[in-house]
Structure 1
Amino acid sequence: MTAWRPTPALVRTCILALAGIAGGVVGGLAVPLVLAAPFVLLGVMGLLGRPGRVPAVRTQIDHHRLHEGQGTTSRVVVEDLTGVEHVTRVAAPAPHVATRPAYGAVGSLVEHGLPVVEFSPRRWGRRIIGAERIALTSPWAGWRTGPTDMPEHGLSVLPQTAPYDSRAEVPQPDGLVGRHRSRRLGSGTEFEGIRPFAVGDRLKRVNWPVSLRTGELHVITTRAEQDAGVWLVVDGLRDIGVSGGIDGAASSLDLTVRAAAALAEHHVRTGDRVGLLVVASEGARVRLGSGPRHLHRLTGTLARVRTEARSVAPERLDLGAGAGSVVYVLSPMLFTPLVTATASLLRGGASVVVIDTLGDRSTGEDPRALASLAARMQQIERDDRLQQLAALGCPVVPWRGPGTLDTVLHQLARRAQVPKVRAR
């Protein structure tokens, strides 16, 4: 903090007091002396109320990691309040951050408590808050130190996990034990069916009642003790539309990140192993894992997604999910190499579901305008890509929140049980 300086109010008070005294003495009149008496009193009290030392001031916030829509409080800490009567704070506005008071300006007497400013981030990502100026005032508003600039605080805002739940089983799980059991036959405890004996079957699996009734050996088949290996592929190449935060319209990247967070939370809480791949110029990859700590890692990675002008070279685009995995591709599907990589992944044996996160982008613009014509041409190309993916057997589902994938996962689970013929 800077040194204590007299306030304009104290300067005006002293000038008026001296002027009244001088006028009364020079003119020999009592009226100026009477009028100057209150200013003399205020001036003397203000001059005598000068604090002895400048206190150290800093700010701190209660939380450094929040979800969209949650809030935190910025508090001011003063080491020595001796001689301080009033504290004033003015916080600078930050994009996608709501403040209370609305304009970030607040002040209060020390005896009523130090003033606080509340911040509420309205969009996921990295937010900078707490850039403010603080001034301290002595009793009788005689002396002031500041305003002093306070350092900013970084706030990590996680995407809001939209309400999502699914009762459908993941079609081709691959991992350890979780709630979503594997459809694969193997050594396990969950009953799958009874079939005729084949070379290599264990004798302990023989079902004697059925074997005696039919005259041929039959064995019991069980499901493998495996859970779901789920990959989330997030398209962070472009952001279509303008984000209005949690309270307004959502851009395509908002839908993508929030849908990915909802799917990650759902599958992690049901015991599945979840991995994440961010397709961007500076992408990120999180290996398969489970548990609350892994969920924090996934949501933290999603909060750091950024779109840049640079694109990804097609030869560097590798989704990297093996056969038997369940892959959710969350994308507006406007990048042709990503569509090609999705088709290659589908041919490789993975269960792929494309979640369309473009949203409703209809506007009231003139259809003959150049921008509107370009958007319509891009929409036609996008629809053609989605039709080609659907022809390959890849379901394309727009994100609708709870129950979005129930029907699709049921269909994929039935498809996974159908015998497949592969050419060699």
Structure 2
Amino acid sequence: MTSWRPTPALVRSCLLALGGVSGGIVLGQEVLVVLAAPFVVLAAMGLAGRPRRSPRLVARLDHHRLHEGQGTTSRLEVDDLAGVEHVTRVAARAVHVATSPTYGTVGSLVDEGLPGVAFSPRRWGRRAVGAERVALTSAWAGWRFGPVPLPENSLVVLPQTAPYDTRAEVPQPDGLVGRHRSRRLGSGTELEGIRPFAPGDRLKRITWPVSLRTGELHVVTTRAEQDAGVWLVVDGLRDIGVSGGIDGHASTLDLTVRAAAALAEHHVRTGDRVGLLVVAANGARVPLGSGPRHLQRLQGTLARVRTEARSTPPERLDLGAGAGSVVHVLSPMLFTPLVTATAGLQRSGASVVVVDTLGDALTAPDGADRLALPSLAARMQRIERDDRLRRLAALGTPVVPWRGPGTLDTVLHQLARRAQVPKVRA
């Protein structure tokens, strides 16, 4: 059980004071008593300032759910500070978590307030922070309590929502809540045209200026205000490259998760229904939904994505989506089964867009030997990948590298025009 124990400084003071006074009395040397006098004072003050009660220590985080780059503070709570003069905290280092102070060691006097340790996660995921050792010191540095080990706290780090926006409309909206214009006529506010009155039309739709000018009743037709069913397919099978957090180089999984978070936030804020399918070892599926609570659910699911070396791509992606859905496949496209499953989605009638999140993962660094075995393997893998993407584009599936804002503008415009072309089925 942790209790107050004398510090080495108090032990030395007591020994020097006892030795100096005893030597001066036995040998009759007053100078030894004079030299030992300061140590007598230190020993007496240290012994007199011993705390009588053992305090209880608890460390709490201000926030347990953050985005990449944000920060939180671990605050220490002590139930009894009687006799305590100084507090020292030493926090353990965590992967992809920056601490302030840099090495996680901080101390201060109790009169100045209990010291805090700030944590700033630099990469999405679940992080364990707050594992530390705390020591309390009494007045005159005579007694020390601890070090007391404190348990770690779980911190959920959501992906950073990169700035993303698009003015393109979703090709085939299907619903009745969002802002996208529909190709179907209905009760909305977007003007479609004016036509002669027909039985069953509402009287409030009559446009009197045109009716008086032509002598016949005319009504205004509008487009239905509909939302779109948007699916995000996230490839979490492998993580190619080394992640440096938001401050360094991004791996393929970093680009994939952050791009999915940006697309999810954009579509949810515009009123669309968004679903998520994570293709990984611990794959997850979030059905279509909308609203702020649904956005938090999507971000939390993305933060739990894990890769595993033995995980294999599925032969078929079962979204349960209709033919009018829009599917964004976010993947570096390095596995043939996943490319085959994407082609199956395209044949099912959905509007599929492949967002390439490979980035510079297979690019050889400057000055590297191009004839070295790793460079040759990366070049061969890139050639095979480019061949898969060409075959996928031949089926009518556009492939767009992720570039942030405006990435999908041109592609969505093209898909919207393609959706209006009449289809001839044999």
- The alignment's TM-score, normalised by the length of structure 1, stands at 0.93
The residue aligned with 2:85 is 85
Per the alignment, in what secondary structure is the counterpart of residue 288 of structure 1? strand
Deviation at 1:396, TM superposition (A): 0.7
The residue aligned with 1:130 is 130
Alignment match of 1:410 (pick from 395, 410, 413): 413
- Asked if the contact 2:164–2:406 (Cα under 8 Å) also holds between the matched residues in 1, the reply is yes
Q: Aligned partners of 1:314, 1:292: CA distance in 2, in Å?
A: 31
Per the alignment, in what secondary structure is the counterpart of residue 327 of structure 2? strand
Q: Does 1:294 align with 2:294?
A: yes
Q: Aligned partners of 2:175, 2:423: CA distance in 1, in Å?
A: 22
1:383-409 deviation line (CA, Å, top 9, x unaligned): 011111111111111010111111111
- Asked if the contact 1:321–1:345 (Cα under 8 Å) also holds between the matched residues in 2, the reply is no
Q: Aligned partners of 2:41, 2:313: CA distance in 1, in Å?
A: 77
1:179-190 counterparts in 2 under 5 A? 179-186=179-186, 188-190=188-190
Q: Aligned partners of 1:357, 1:31: CA distance in 2, in Å?
A: 80
1:365-376 counterparts in 2 under 5 A? 365-376=368-379
The residue aligned with 2:44 is 44
Q: Does 1:396 align with 2:399?
A: yes
Deviation at 1:176, TM superposition (A): 2.0
Q: Aligned partners of 1:228, 1:317: CA distance in 2, in Å?
A: 20
Larger proportion of strand: 2
Distance 1:311 1:166, change over 3 A: same
Alignment match of 2:422 (pick from 407, 419, 422): 419
Q: Aligned partners of 1:302, 1:231: CA distance in 2, in Å?
A: 14
Per the alignment, in what secondary structure is the counterpart of residue 52 of structure 1? coil
Segments ≥4 residues shifted beyond 6 Å: 194-197, 205-211, 217-220
Q: Does 1:173 align with 2:173?
A: yes
Deviation at 1:71, TM superposition (A): 0.3
1:125-274 counterparts in 2 under 5 A? 125-186=125-186, 188-193=188-193, 204=201, 222-274=222-274
The residue aligned with 1:309 is 309
Q: Which blocks of at least 5 consecutive residues in structure 2 are unaligned?
A: none
Q: Does 1:378 align with 2:393?
A: no
Deviation at 1:188, TM superposition (A): 4.7
The residue aligned with 1:328 is 328
1:343-372 deviation line (CA, Å, top 9, x unaligned): 111111111111000002322332111111
Per the alignment, in what secondary structure is the counterpart of residue 164 of structure 1? coil
Per the alignment, in what secondary structure is the counterpart of residue 85 of structure 1? strand
Deviation at 1:26, TM superposition (A): 1.8
Per the alignment, in what secondary structure is the counterpart of residue 184 of structure 1? strand
1:13-162 counterparts in 2 under 5 A? 13-162=13-162
- Asked if the contact 1:171–1:183 (Cα under 8 Å) also holds between the matched residues in 2, the reply is no
Q: Aligned partners of 2:232, 2:330: CA distance in 1, in Å?
A: 7
Q: How many residues align?
A: 419
Code of the aligned partner of 1:343: A
Distance 1:325 1:317, change over 3 A: closer
Distance 1:174 1:243, change over 3 A: same
Q: Aligned partners of 1:356, 1:335: CA distance in 2, in Å?
A: 13
Per the alignment, in what secondary structure is the counterpart of residue 324 of structure 1? coil
The residue aligned with 2:356 is 356
